Amino acid sequence: MKEPQSAKDIFTVFPLVATETNGRDYLTLEEAFEQGLVFIPESGRVSELTVVVKGEKPVLITEGEILVGGYQNRTVNISLLLDAGKEHHIPVSCVERGRWSTRRRGLTGLSPSTGLEFVPRGVTASSRLRRYKTATVVNHYMAFSIPVADQGVVWEEVRDELLTARVESPTEDAFEIYERYWNSIEDLLAPIKTLPNQVGAILAIGQMIVAIEVFDHPDVWSIASKKMLSGYATEALELLWRGRLSKAVSDDEARAFKDMVAGALSRATVKPSPVGLGEHHLLDGSMVDGFALVHNGKVYHLFAFPRTHHT
């Protein structure tokens, strides 16, 4: 763990750096989309999207990713490694309650949706929404072996975030927070730099450690970090608006949390992924929640967070 980077004493990132890395035999969703190797049409089902993967490499699609378009915007329930050359049906949650029709949308620097297909926007749901959603996904996955979220919890959190941000959204669209505050988010993240061989980070907002995110390769963190960090920035801005920020997290606290996650991972419940390659190691413990996507013994994405922050 390297020296922490702080964004205006609001948001602290403790970088995690790999001592060595192997090659990468898959694409991120962003890479596949830019190369025309993935197509995401509207399925007509709120809790499921179709993802068609072309080409010869698997595609990693990460939990929390916001996909804009179709009949309503969605967010991905859990990270998945999707086989090449196949059609997949992935579990998602709705983050736009009041729409069930097509609509063109845009965001500064990003191209608009063109119809019933979905496009990635380079952002995730807010980190708090991701934690609340993932806690319900893990509970359902444990019981029924299907990574389904509590849609009511998701809608309630989206509504609360829109109210706090004072964003009027006729369709209760979580993405509109990014449209309104994109410049503020970029400004908050400007001091945060990606280090050589960085594969993840421990994230803290004010005096709270809120999560750890780890990928298997520095290239993936480099691609995923901005969209992931944008979700933490929205939560930091929300707490700033509410006046709830105080002292920063210490290095010792961050290390203790990292050790806690490692212990939880060693005791995880393992479920074969219902979609794509690999398996999910579910961290539904007394202190830590979350999951790791593992394939052939390698962790492709770990997302874990203190249990006390969503109870």
Band (19; pLDDT cuts 50, 70, 90): confident
Domain-wise residue ranges, the chain? 5-309
What pLDDT sits at residue 4? 72
Would the pLDDT of 266 be above 90?
A: yes
The answer to whether the beta carbons of residues 139 and 271 sit under 8 Å apart is no
Choose the weakest-confidence range: 42-46, 67-71, 104-108.
104-108
pLDDT value at position 3?
67
Amino acid 114: pLDDT:
46
Locate 217 and state its tokens: 């390769």
**Nearest-angstrom CA–CA distance, 171 and 99:** 6
| Predicted local confidence at residue 112, as pLDDT | 40
Q: Rounded to whole angstroms, how far apart are CA atoms 6 and 176?
A: 26
Q: What is the pLDDT of residue 8?
A: 63
Mean pLDDT lowest for which of 109-123, 205-219, 237-251? 109-123
What are the CA-CA distances from residue 235 to residues 49, 129, 269, 275 (Å)?
Answer: 27, 9, 29, 30
Q: Is residue 109 pLDDT above 60, yes or no? A: no
pTM: 0.92
Q: Average pLDDT for residues 178-205, to the nearest whole number? A: 94
DSSP 5-62: EEETTTEEEEEEE-S------SEEHHHHHHTT-EE-B--SBTTEEEEEE-SSS-EEE-
Mean pLDDT, residues 278-303:
94
* Interval 152-169 mean pLDDT: 96
More confident residue, 241 or 171: 171
pLDDT score recorded for residue 20? 80
What is the rounded CA–CA span in Å between residue 84 and residue 87? Answer: 9
Instruction: Say how far apart CA 202 and CA 217 lie, in whole Å.
Output: 16
pLDDT at residue 193 above 90? yes
pLDDT above 80 for 97: yes
Nearest-angstrom CA–CA distance, 158 and 67: 15
Q: Residue 249's pLDDT is what? A: 87
Instruction: Work out the mean pLDDT of the chain and round it to a whole number.
Output: 91
pLDDT tier at 104 (50, 70, 90 boundaries)? low
- Average of pLDDT values for 33-51? 95
The pLDDT of residue 7: 63
Lowest mean pLDDT among 95-104, 120-129, 186-195: 95-104
CA distance 92 to 4: 33
Residue 220 and residue 81: Cα distance in Å, rounded? Answer: 13
What mean pLDDT comes out for the span 223-238?
93
Task: Give the side-chain half-sphere CA count within 13 A for 244.
Answer: 10
Neighbours of 26 (CB within 10 A): 19
pLDDT in the model for residue 231: 96
pLDDT value at 113 more than 60:
no
Alpha carbon distance 157, 150 (integer Å): 11
Average pLDDT estimate for 9-20 = 89
- Phi and psi at residue 173, in whole multiples of 5°? -100, 115
